[in-house]
């Protein structure tokens, strides 16, 4: 009896690999050679909680990727549900998954195919159509508190896809963006997936995991990204919230015992976003500061229903005060270094 109890407890032990749990219902979209699926499955010790899809047929897949057949055989033994011929832009209508909901829906490095240089505007449009169609489908397939993850390059021209805007059109709010490191997923091999070099990896460079949540209050973002529109939006935001936001130097994440714990995420995101851009594109620092605060406000409204906007403004005022104190401290430190 004791032995049986121990076995049951072992089976019910939750295992986490980065943002994915063995207790999650996980949908993987646009898999290449299924090495990412296999990575999760082998770590969990089972793939019974995983549905993995690919646009390719079984025959096409095994011809394109030399390890695909072996990976699929291992996944079958681990209990994965693999579906071929699934279009990410139409998947919510697929017979095998249209009635299911998921805790995590993951699309690794979506790509519409090699049809010219990546900076070509028509190709970027194709990529955006693919990701937009995916968001449109995935947004209705989430469980409560579920998340949609897209691993994506953040350098130019890939940053021009503007994932956040595409997501917002489908009632999805960016929860956070964190650096993606392939070494966190042992055995995962990213693939080109197209052309005569389809089985070769592509250079990752700078890339992130973008995490989105469903939000009925998510405001649609404008597709016009001109500087004049950005200034207009920032001015409107300031007027509506009756607070003058600072545009000076900023430091790394600030912690303060007066911050209410429940809003720690707001300030963490605020500084993380600016830290990623400050010093790289100085002319856009002000824009990114305002954009970060706007994102924080959207999340405040979504998560803190019923709490007045004045609370948010008070937190921003305190944050500004602490930021200025930090700047003064840094100036004093630098001055001390010069005198040595």
Containing 144, the helix (H) or strand (E) segment is strand 142-153
Note the Cα 18 to chain centre separation in Å.
Answer: 13
What does the mean pLDDT of the chain come to? 78
Tokens of residue 313, six digits? 């403004």
Model confidence over 36-72: pLDDT tens digits?
999 999 999 999 999 999 999 999 999 999 999 999 9
Model confidence over 227-286: pLDDT tens digits?
444 444 444 433 443 333 333 333 333 333 333 444 444 555 555 555 554 544 444 555
Does residue 156 surpass a pLDDT of 50? yes
Model confidence over 175-210: pLDDT tens digits?
999 999 999 999 999 998 777 888 888 889 999 999
Q: Percentage of the chain with pLDDT > 90?
A: 51
pLDDT computed for residue 118 by the predictor:
87
Which segments of the chain belong to CATH 3.40.50.150? Answer: 20-214
Kindly report whether the global pTM for this prediction surpasses the value 0.75.
Answer: no
- Is residue 145 within 8 Å of 132, Cβ to Cβ? no
Does residue 326 surpass a pLDDT of 50? yes
Note the Cα 143 to chain centre separation in Å.
Answer: 17
pLDDT computed for residue 46 by the predictor:
96
List C-alpha distances in Å: 252 to 77, 136, 237, 271, 276. 47, 35, 24, 6, 10
Q: Which residue has the higher pLDDT, 24 or 292?
A: 24
Q: Name the residue among 84, 60, 25, 40 with its Cα closest to residue 188.
A: 40
pLDDT computed for residue 197 by the predictor:
85
pLDDT computed for residue 276 by the predictor:
52
Yes or no: is domain 20-214 CATH 3.40.50.150? yes
How large is the average pLDDT for residues 138-160? 94
């Amino acid at each position: 009896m004791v032995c049986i109890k121990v076995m049951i407890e072992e089976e019910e032990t939750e295992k986490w690999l980065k943002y994915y749990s063995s207790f999650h219902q996980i949908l993987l979209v646009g898999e290449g050679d299924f090495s990412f699926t296999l990575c999760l499955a082998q770590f969990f010790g089972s793939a019974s909680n995983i549905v993995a899809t690919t646009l390719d047929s079984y025959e096409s897949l095994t011809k394109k990727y030399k390890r695909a057949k072996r990976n699929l055989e291992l996944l079958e033994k681990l209990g994965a549900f693999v579906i071929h011929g699934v279009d990410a832009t139409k998947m919510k209508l697929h017979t095998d998954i249209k009635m299911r909901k998921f805790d995590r829906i993951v699309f690794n490095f979506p790509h519409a195919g090699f049809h010219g240089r990546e900076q070509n505007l028509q190709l970027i449009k194709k990529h955006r159509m693919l990701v937009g169609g995916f968001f449109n489908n995935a947004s209705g397939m989430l469980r409560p508190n579920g998340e949609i993850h897209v691993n994506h390059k953040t350098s130019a021209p890939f940053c021009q896809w503007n994932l956040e805007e595409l997501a917002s059109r489908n009632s999805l709010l960016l929860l956070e963006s964190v650096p993606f490191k392939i070494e966190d997923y042992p055995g995962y091999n990213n693939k080109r997936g197209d052309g005569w070099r389809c089985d070769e990896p592509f250079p990752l460079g700078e890339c992130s995991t973008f995490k989105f949540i469903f939000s009925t209050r998510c405001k649609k973002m404008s597709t016009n990204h001109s500087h004049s529109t950005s200034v207009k939006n920032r001015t409107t935001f300031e007027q509506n919230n009756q607070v003058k936001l600072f545009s000076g130097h900023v430091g790394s994440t600030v912690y303060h015992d007066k911050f209410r714990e429940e809003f720690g995420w707001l300030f963490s995101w605020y500084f993380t976003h600016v830290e990623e851009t400050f010093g790289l594109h100085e002319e856009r620092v002000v824009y990114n500061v305002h954009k970060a605060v706007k994102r924080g406000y959207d999340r405040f409204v979504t998560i803190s229903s019923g709490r007045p906007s004045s609370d948010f403004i008070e937190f921003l005022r305190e944050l500004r005060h602490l930021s200025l104190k930090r700047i003064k401290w840094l100036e004093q430190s630098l001055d001390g270094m010069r005198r040595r």
